[in-house]
Amino acid sequence: MAHSDVPRITDATKVWTTLITNTAYLSGLLTLEYSLRKVGSKYPLIALYTDSFPAEGHAALDARGILKQRVPYLLPSMPKDYVNDVRFYDCWSKLTPFSLVEYERVVQLDSDMMVLRNMDELMELDLDPPEMAGSGNRVFAASHACVCNPLKKPHYPGDWTPSNCAYTSQHTTPDIAQTEGAPADFGLGIPNGGLQVVNPSKAVYDKIMAQLASSATSNYEFADQSLLSDVFFGRWVPLPYVYNALKTLRWEGVHDAIWRDEQVKNMHYLLSPKPWDESEAVRAGREARPSQNAPHAWWWDFTEERLQEEKAGGVDDEF
């Protein structure tokens, strides 16, 4: 149960959250919030902001009535060089939902996600209660990380190969892949940090903070998700890909064997470019969009609807 002695910024005890540290992802956050309302979610989204989030970002959230809550900017005691993936410097702060004990359930979403179908059932998913202090086998829920390295990034670990990928193991059972994740300990056993279903717990958060203070973080190539897979290896609930549908899974030769457009509940626009970074010509259809990026068109369909709604309500800013 939520701690009644810790004040909440909403009457809801179960919430969606998303981390925002700058305005680069703000358009994504706004469309994420719109998509949750569009699919009829009963639960509010809270923007978890750090002190780096600027005034114009706050003004945009306030103009739309989006809930917001300050969180600390987390960093490990042993610095890790992410010069090849600077986005990971911000990712440590995605561990803060475990600390939000004023809520009974937190589902953390990345700001480059968009919800296509209602997934409120995640608020009822069976997880270990906080008093188990992270000792059980259902500490949190997430979808697997894809460890195929489809872009062949040279700085990725050598064991990030299709044979170690949980999704590869499901290629022969695509129907099951729509409703079940591969075992949590399959292959490298790494959850993707984009969506995390959490029962906040001080004891669990204390374990996370202890690890953040240890020298182990110097070896974590993927920040928060590396930490979670290390501390709670095999003790998390694997969700099917539909709750965290990485756009690369849809690509031919990656995991298109299991991908079904009509089954996707939550689209994840990981890696660059983001839909909002596309040129006006691509957006208007004057330039061909690679077929593998068709989901970008879905994002713009939702975003155009959002912008029309906002203008009707008197909100017309650059986001």
Residue-level pLDDT at 293: 73
Rg (CA), the chain: 19
Read off the amino acid at residue 137: N
pTM of the model: 0.93
Integer Cα distance of 30 and 37 in angstroms:
11
Residue-level pLDDT at 286: 42
Secondary structure letter of residue 60 according to DSSP: H
Rounded to the nearest angstrom, the gap between the alpha carbon of residue 154 and the centroid of all alpha carbons in its chain is 24
Domain locations in the chain as residue ranges: 14-267
To the nearest whole percent, how much of the chain has pLDDT over 70?
91
The CATH fold of domain 14-267? Spore Coat Polysaccharide Biosynthesis Protein SpsA; Chain A (3.90.550)
Residue-level pLDDT at 75: 80
- Indicate the SS3 state at residue 150: coil
Read off the amino acid at residue 164: N
Integer Cα distance of 133 and 207 in angstroms:
9
Q: In this structure, what token pair is assigned to residue 291?
A: 């077929």
pLDDT higher than threshold 50 for residue 234: yes
pLDDT digits (tens, 9 = 90+) for 247-291: 999 999 999 999 999 999 999 999 888 999 986 556 666 455 556
Integer Cα distance of 265 and 29 in angstroms:
17
Four-CA torsion 306, 264, 66, 5, nearest 10 degrees:
170
Q: Is 21 left (phi over 0), alpha (psi -120 to 50) or beta?
A: alpha
Secondary structure letter of residue 71 according to DSSP: -
Integer Cα distance of 148 and 229 in angstroms:
17
Please state, rounded to an integer, the average pLDDT across all residues of the chain. 91
Residue-level pLDDT at 2: 65
Q: In this structure, what token pair is assigned to residue 15?
A: 């919430």
Integer Cα distance of 157 and 229 in angstroms:
15
Pairing of strands 195-198, 245-246: unpaired
